[in-house]
Structure 1
């Protein structure tokens, strides 16, 4: 099989080839024996053509370039068509591989570390054919995690896979979440939030489930995930997902406010957004610096962020979302 990463070579015209083209355009004639390598390059690029009577004849670069561009576009279209057919061509083998993997690893696979977990998740999701159910209880997602998930999830949606995701209510304040949700829902995903405790899990085609193992391997500092290769367990978890889904709220519900804030908390957030110094902000709110530090720390936990800057950004996004909802 040809290397799947093979692409047409970059178009580079050597100095010798340019010099030959310039000379032939100015003086006419034919390439000398020393110029044969340059002549072959020009010929391969369509800048020289063979004429039975005249030998090599110059070709208009605009015409030659247009033909070459058309050829590349044709190749690109063919490669895209072939790429789109890969999933269907490989699909009959997925069940065989998954069965083999399950037999080799047992009913439950253990994967340690974000890289290993991401690799296995990519494998599983690339073979998904009908449905992905996700529960994401965290209040905040790292930008790099969002980017990785977007690439993977959009590929599944383009294949016609149905995708439903439940986030915790506090995720509405996460930096970049509104943009990510807009992108995913436009592609066909359905996203909701739930103001209650629920467990993180992924259910793929109701036959495979992925659950976290951190609470089991408490002596490990790395993330741990378990892949459960059992349709019965996956179906059981899917029923739990459906119950949570019925209680959840669509992300784009205009009447949904992500957080309830006290007057003091709102004043602190406005001060942080304005860049007010801690001393001045404490004086404005009427509290001590120590009390202000505690209040800011509580707000960070409330919004699921780590810095005052992220807190101010979340507050700004929340205000914008509320303004859009009222309009």
Structure 2
């Protein structure tokens, strides 16, 4: 079984974490150097630490979430348990006991292994390790919103993050990246986005403010640390409450629908006057729906609908909504999704 950071997982019955290992883990978690000669192989094998790839100094490690290691160990034991159950079923079948077990199945209630909650991650280095650990195990989707200017980001952290995204795409995982307008003029970011698009990912530009977040598989959410005013740069929060994670994914979708595809924003493809959400508003109005009724249809408040209409009138130089609707009826964008 593969662990989140690429090490081979182990059966916890076969791997003993010694008191010295526990002390080593505490030192790494606190950001202290590991004493010379200290063996970290068992911590690496158990998925409790990984080599720090953001620095070039050898012998530096990053502590990983013990909860994930526990999940891996439980998964291994579940496989062994399933094999044992199969053997038992074969034996019981010979003495006619399977119907008895089947009658008991109605009384069983699944106890979820996943524990809801959240974690404040106070150090940027540890935050990056948490994100990397979750992305390495991604199986379906990764949604990332990065509102910061590329020039303000740590180059090493940025490089590691980009390598993770490309590796995730190589496994066939859906990736959507949301950037601010300044990313268009940043050549290294543009070169990276070209690789993402070529690998099958999708990137869009949002002209406005939006929150930083990474949503993975509908199970993991990484956000800024808003609890501590003087929080370390790149620190944040790791949320694995399913209700909150899915709410954040919905919020990402709202920004995503109003964002402009990278190739359009960068001029690689023809510019459009309307966004997809604006086209949805115009279609509703063309059907005779009132502005008050449009909001629930497209998932916006009435004020937001009015703002979109005002923006379009400004772009086109129109003063009235009727002028806008006449233009819409004749526009080539009428057939666009």
Select the structure of larger CA radius of gyration.
1
